[in-house]
Structures are given as structure tokens and as C-alpha cells.
Amino acid sequence: MAKIGINIATGSLQKEEMIVGIDLGTTNSLVAIIHPESKQPLALKEHNSSSLVPSIVHFDEAGNVTVGEAAKQFLITEPHNTIFSAKRLMGKSYNDIKDNASFFTYKVIDDNTESLVKVQVGDKFYSPIDLSSFILKELKQRAEHILKTPVTRAVITVPAYFNDAQRQATRDAGKLAGLDVLRIINEPTAASLAYGLGLGKEESKTIAVYDLGGGTFDISILQITNGIFEVLSTNGDTYLGGDDFDRVIVKQWMKQSGLSEAELFENKGLSQTLRLKAEEAKKLLSNAENFELELNGNLLTISRTEFEGLIKPFIERTIKSCESAIADAKIAVSEIESVVMVGGSTRVPAVKNAVSAFFGRPVNDTVNADEVVALGAAVQADILAGNNKEFLLLDITPLSLGIETMGGLMDVLIPRNSKIPTKVGRQYTTHKDGQSGMRISVFQGERDLVQDNRKLAEFNLSGIPAMPAGLPKVEVSFLINADGILVVKAKELRSGIEQSIEVKPQYGLSDEEVERMLLDSITNAKDDIAKRALVEARTEGEQLLETTEKFIGKNASLLSQQELIATAEAMQALQLALTMEDKDLVHRKVEELNEISRPYAERVMDQAVSTAMKGKTI
């Protein structure tokens, strides 16, 4: 299968263009390439600046977007317009993140707890995909500026624990940024590749990748067999990292100088200075024994021994995670043959020592810990480009395969460039009470609306027993066998009824057609994703209208006249918004209706609970 590059500027197909590796991180992101002459992986940077681009997006009053170092300065002064850690929101619903909601200083919409989260800035709504696409766009532009050539193809890394939806969201973000995402690979896999692990032809190895960044910790156990990486287990803590190390230093200094929490809360400038100085101290202590600072007449100190004492509980937590990961992988620690270190915080000697003591072997730490993931992504990109002739490319799917969901959207089950054979399953449900059948339409292509893709097959799963909407569990599975035959199966799990169909996705499809379909998907990406966002907003609006109507029908007698009128008006406004082509308007009207219904919905709930409790002895 030939790899196709598309020059967005000219619309022409390019066969020789470089493929970049991108580490789209929670805190920082960066781009790497394989240097065409030295053949070595290289992180891209402008003269005298860092290769790291802070994963921060700032919106000004006029809606202008800045990304990276320039956006970082607004973190403290404009917390509502400055979005950090968007990666933590990828593919998540509000329910998924509500326990950590206080972490986000910007507005994460919390009404529709089941649907995907959105961030509100002024009167605009952004999905995590939009936010990530701004970061990717910046990375793309930087890379183009440095390389002086268009950059349109990339390999992007994601955490090993990312699910299908999160991976698809990352692909979409790439597409929206004008990038043809050739493959999404796991961060630990990329880190291993950067160390040359898994590149040997007949290599078989079990390794651990320990990744301690600014705000997250991940440990992954990987099994490498003949170039195939299998994740045996992952563990970690999504809220543990170098930022915690900075905080304990700030705490020690507060004690030394007699500063209170309240004083720091009041004085944002001082609080920011302390945090930055603490980070500086931490980094210096990786090489020095003591750090001293004079601040407003106070002498603030910290020694390496003190620092190591303060962060010991955090390090112990990471080691506990390593133990769990080893147990989940069903192996012994002694079977781990290499340990790869990733993330800036692994530069702390106490961290290195603890990890090496746990695994009973020296760790791999020679590659720059901040860049190692991007460098590995570049290695993978080079393999995909066919430059690494030593490395055999496995059979892959040239186009994505998926099914049609609500509003004519394409839901991808097997992304393009997946290795075959492969098997993927996903659960769906009904959206009408008593719905007895479900039509499964199978499509191929990269566009967001199925009408722009190629239809491969269609069948009906009928005989679903009558159940309320949302209760049936229909598992749709896609299996592509080694001969490239796709078997699509749908099974309702509660009743066991099932139906399947077989197709040959490549049948009648020439290389030129595949190229055209890819080119279309990139040139229409902006429009497609806007359409998808509108369809999703409308579906959300329609569902809210339906549930509100049901609720009012049941509980009208418990509501005041005023509440009924306000609700009717808000419903009408939402209904009207649904007929217009404006997703932000739909989101605003959904918000307004939710604001009105929330107080009485809670009241009616409470009443129902207290009625149910009456007469019951506890």
C-alpha cells in the first residue's frame, strides 16, 4: 500500500514529503523528525528556544487564538480564557471528570453529564478536539517554518490507556489541523522505539515504561514480539507529577517565611513567583545539593535531602502502581528486561534510584526524557514512509471502516492504517422506547458524514425485545481476517439475538480512488467537523427537548405556573435554534433550558425520594 502525502497549500499529491512524529502532551507538546542526512531522530526547535510547546490555548476578547509560551503567561491573569490540560478532556463526558472538576480554572459545561464535554469561553463553545487542533496547528506551523516545507502527514502519540473514542478524537484533532494522521501510536511504544527497542527483526522482550511528567504518571508493561508491541498492562495516577513536587517546596517556604494560604490566594503574583522558583529549585537539586533564595527579605532554602524527604510519599505511590502493573501483566519483576524513563520528572535522582531499585536493574535514561516520545513517533513515521527498509510493514487497512450513527454521522471502528488481522467491538443502544430493530450500515472512508463515504453493506438486527430506550446493549464487532475479509456482527447482549454479514472492503477500489478519498477528507476537514459538531449539538438539543417534555408531562402538577411558562419559552427557543445552522446557539439554548429546569428537577427528585422513604423503617 503506497503512502500518500497531500500538499494542503496546492492540493497536489506529494510522494516524497517528510512525515513528522508528534507528542501531543498534557503539559507540553513537540514535533520530531528523522534527519534526512544523519538518519537520527531530532526534536524540532527554533534557534535558542525549547523544543517544547506548552499545551496551552488562550483566547482574547476578539476570539483570536494563541498557543504555547505566549498563551502560558495568561494562566494566572486570565484563567477563564486560558485552556490548559485539554488532553485530560479528550473523549470524556462531564461524569468522567466531575471528581476533578476543581482542577479546571475555565468553564467546563456540566449540564449534560453523559455527552462529551465542552469548554465555554465567552459565548463560544469548544470541544477538546477543537482545542487540541489549535495546538496541533501551531506545531504544524512551527515545523513548516523550521523545515521550510509543508508538513501534512504525522504520527501522533496517545497514552496506552486511551480508549477508541479518545484515539478517534485525537485523529479528528489532527485532521482539523490539516494533518493526515497516518497512525496513532501508544506513548510507551514510541518511547521504546526511541531506544531502538522493538526494531530488531526477531526480537522478543518484555519491558516497562515509567512516565512521570508534570501532572500525570503512567507505567506500562509491554511485550514486544517481532516488531509488534502488545500492552500487557497499564497503571498510574492521572493527577500525580512534577507539579506536586513544586507544591511541597512552596509549602516548606511558606513555613520558613510565615506566609499563609490566604495571603498567597490574595497575592496571585507572589504565588506564581513562588511556584516558578520552586520549579527552578527542583530542577537545580537534580544536580546540586542546596538551593537558596532571598524573597522580600526572607531567606528561603531547600536541600536535596529535605526535598527527597518531601517527595518520598509521591515516589512510593508510583512504585505501588508499578507493583500493580506487574501483577496485572501476570509476570514477575525479574522478567522485565528493560526499563525506559519518560517525562521531565524522571530526571530527579531519587526517582531514578527508586525505579531502578524496584526493577533491580539500571534504567534507560540517555535519551532526553521530554523528547523521547516525539523522537520515537518520528522513528515510527520513518518506518511508515518506507525509509527504514529493514523494517517490514505489515498489512494495513487503507481506509477507515465504521457504521452510521445518529444524524448520519460516521462512527469509525477500525481506523485507516490499522494492522490486519484485527478485531474491534463497540456497544450501541436504542434511542426510542420499545424499538425492536436496528439498522447497521457499514461504511468506508474518512469523511464525518456517511453520505460522503462509501457504503459497503447494510443489514437489520431485528427482534430486539421491547425495552425502554437506552437499555438494550447492541455490540457491533468488526473483524478483518488475514485475507482482508471484513465480518460485521451485531448482537443484542441481553437477549442474545445476533446477525452478521461479510464484505470485502477493497473490492473494486483502485489506489487512485483511495487517494481521492483521502484528499477529499483533508480538503473538507474543516467543513466536515463543523457539520459533525452541528449534528451532535442538534442531537443533544433534541434529546433534551424529549426528556424535558416527558418530565413535564409527568410532573406538571409539582411545578409553579412561572416555571411552566419559563420552560415552555426556553423549549420554544431551543426548538427554533435547532432549525438554524449555528451550533453555539444550540449550546446556549440547551444551557438556558438546563438552567431553568435544574432547580425544579432537583426539587421533584428530592420529593420523590422522601415519599419513597415514608413508611419505611430504617
DSSP 522: H
Is 275 a residue that touches ligand AMP (CB under 6 A)?
no
DSSP 565-598: HHHHHHHHHHHHHHTSS-HHHHHHHHHHHHHHHH
Nearer to ligand AMP, 84 or 106 (CB): 84
**How far is it, in rounded angstroms, from Cα 399 to Cα 442?**
13
Q: Which stretch binds ligand AMP (CB under 6 A): 218-226, 341-349, 512-520, 536-544?
A: 341-349
Angle at 207 between CA 201 and CA 213, to 5 degrees: 120
DSSP 93-105: BHHHHGGGGGG--
Pick one of 137, 347, 531, 538: the residue that binds ligand AMP (CB under 6 A): 347
Is 283 a residue that touches ligand AMP (CB under 6 A)?
yes
Pick one of 174, 344, 376, 398: the residue that binds ligand AMP (CB under 6 A): 344
Strands, E assignment, 255-304: 290-295, 298-303
Q: Which stretch binds ligand AMP (CB under 6 A): 148-156, 255-263, 279-287, 495-503?
A: 279-287
The CB-of-32 to ligand AMP minimum distance in angstroms stands at 14
Beta bridge partners of 403: 411, 442
Nearer to ligand AMP, 284 or 406 (CB): 284
Contact 112, 120 (CB under 8 A): no
The CB-of-67 to ligand AMP minimum distance in angstroms stands at 16
DSSP 393: P
Nearer to ligand AMP, 27 or 112 (CB): 27
Nearer to ligand AMP, 68 or 242 (CB): 242
Give, in order, the Cα–Cα distances in Å from 40 to each of 15, 35, 229, 393, 586: 21, 5, 22, 20, 50
The grid coordinates of residue 282 equal: 527542583
Nearer to ligand AMP, 348 or 522 (CB): 348
Strands, E assignment, 376-485: 401-405, 409-414, 422-428, 437-444, 454-462, 474-480
Which element (helix H / strand E) includes 86?
none
**How far is it, in rounded angstroms, from Cα 182 to Cα 168?**
12
Pick one of 96, 144, 164, 243: the residue that binds ligand AMP (CB under 6 A): 243
Contact 97, 108 (CB under 8 A): yes
**How far is it, in rounded angstroms, from Cα 108 to Cα 125?**
10
Spatial strand order of the sheet with 56-59 comes to 65-67, 56-59, 82-84
Q: Which stretch binds ligand AMP (CB under 6 A): 25-33, 77-85, 143-151, 313-321?
A: 25-33
Nearer to ligand AMP, 286 or 499 (CB): 286
Pick one of 142, 153, 175, 282: the residue that binds ligand AMP (CB under 6 A): 282
Pick one of 21, 213, 472, 505: the residue that binds ligand AMP (CB under 6 A): 213
Nearer to ligand AMP, 23 or 591 (CB): 23
Is 87 a residue that touches ligand AMP (CB under 6 A)?
no
Is 29 a residue that touches ligand AMP (CB under 6 A)?
no
Other CB atoms closer than 10 Å to residue 334's CB: what's the count?
Answer: 10
Is 233 a residue that touches ligand AMP (CB under 6 A)?
no
Choose the catalytic residue: 17, 23, 244, 536: 23
Pick one of 6, 17, 22, 27: the residue that binds ligand AMP (CB under 6 A): 27
**How far is it, in rounded angstroms, from Cα 529 to Cα 176?**
7
Choose the catalytic residue: 187, 365, 404, 540: 187
Find the helix packing angle between 372-384 and 187-194, rounded to 10°. Answer: 80
Pick one of 214, 398, 402, 445: the residue that binds ligand AMP (CB under 6 A): 214
Size of the site for ligand AMP (CB under 6 A): 18
Nearer to ligand AMP, 308 or 515 (CB): 308
Nearer to ligand AMP, 282 or 583 (CB): 282
Contact 532, 411 (CB under 8 A): no
In sign, the C-alpha dihedral spanning 36, 42, 45, 48 is: negative
Choose the catalytic residue: 17, 87, 180, 246: 87
Q: Is 187 a catalytic residue?
A: yes
Q: Which stretch binds ligand AMP (CB under 6 A): 8-16, 158-166, 241-249, 583-591?
A: 241-249
Among residues 426, 552, 435, 536, which one has the least CA distance to residue 490? 426
Q: Which stretch binds ligand AMP (CB under 6 A): 53-61, 218-226, 276-284, 550-558?
A: 276-284
Those residues whose C-beta lies under 8 Å from the C-beta of residue 500, and which sit 6 or more positions away, are: 459, 487, 488, 489, 490
Nearer to ligand AMP, 370 or 452 (CB): 370
Amino acid occupying residue 341: M
Q: Is 164 a catalytic residue?
A: no
The CB-of-282 to ligand AMP minimum distance in angstroms stands at 5
**How far is it, in rounded angstroms, from Cα 609 to Cα 389?**
67
Q: Which stretch binds ligand AMP (CB under 6 A): 23-31, 382-390, 529-537, 542-550?
A: 23-31
The CB-of-190 to ligand AMP minimum distance in angstroms stands at 13
Question: 286 — phi, psi (to 5°)?
Answer: -70, -20
What phi-psi label fits residue 178: left (phi over 0), alpha (psi between -120 and 50 degrees) or beta?
left
Pick one of 5, 6, 22, 28: the residue that binds ligand AMP (CB under 6 A): 28
Other CB atoms closer than 10 Å to residue 450's CB: what's the count?
Answer: 22
Q: Which stretch binds ligand AMP (CB under 6 A): 42-50, 239-247, 402-410, 533-541?
A: 239-247
Nearer to ligand AMP, 241 or 541 (CB): 241
Spatial strand order of the sheet with 422-428 comes to 422-428, 474-480, 486-492, 498-503
Is 343 a residue that touches ligand AMP (CB under 6 A)?
yes
Pick one of 189, 220, 345, 418: the residue that binds ligand AMP (CB under 6 A): 345
Q: Is 61 a catalytic residue?
A: no
Choose the catalytic residue: 130, 180, 211, 452: 211
Pick one of 238, 257, 286, 500: the residue that binds ligand AMP (CB under 6 A): 286
Using CB under 6 A as the binding rule, the residues of this chain from 114 to 143 that contact ligand AMP are none
The CB-of-9 to ligand AMP minimum distance in angstroms stands at 32
Residue whose C-alpha cell is 523522537: 375
Find the helix packing angle between 242-257 and 268-285, rounded to 10°. Answer: 110
Q: Which parts of this chain interact with ligand AMP (CB under 6 A)?
A: 25, 27-28, 213-214, 241-243, 279, 282-283, 286, 343-345, 347-348, 370
Query: Among all residues, which ones are annotated catalytic?
Result: 23, 87, 187, 211
